[in-house]
Structure 1
């Protein structure tokens, strides 16, 4: 699975993940602040401009964002790479009230 598929699949209390509820971590459980901030930015843009339930892949998200936002192509390319990032596992950190998406750069 990739980050996009996780975002479509997981809900909390029957709602999509809020940006502040999700964090990207490496295999050792160490949060990646840069990737997490990027994901928060992506989620914010998706929730403003794209119906997540109506798209089937990261490319569709990027195509819709390109039409309705002034985001430059290099930013959209980074968004697409982040959404296509392979996911190793998902951890529900209930004490932190977070969903940790564990990624592996080598998967």
Structure 2
């Protein structure tokens, strides 16, 4: 299992999946598995929680990883649209002034 990808303590999806499987299949605690793998116990608990949500075992209304990614994408797109709209409003105001002159 390759742990880190980059210097910011980011782990590959494969590493996370394997770590979660260790917790779920062995019945060991996230703290035990995290210590063995050299990762944060709190981080591993989060990965396990998200994996359960993705499998339909989470609380009602919890967002799956796919839903979270879609939400991030839509928020980025909305920010771009708002920025473009702001530019268009300023351009319209500029050209309106030019026409009046």
TM-score by length of 1: 0.27
Structure number with greater Rg is 2
Bigger strand fraction: 1
| Higher relative contact order (CA closer than 8 Å, sequence separation 6+) | 1
TM-score by length of 2: 0.28
- Which one has the bigger helix percentage? 2
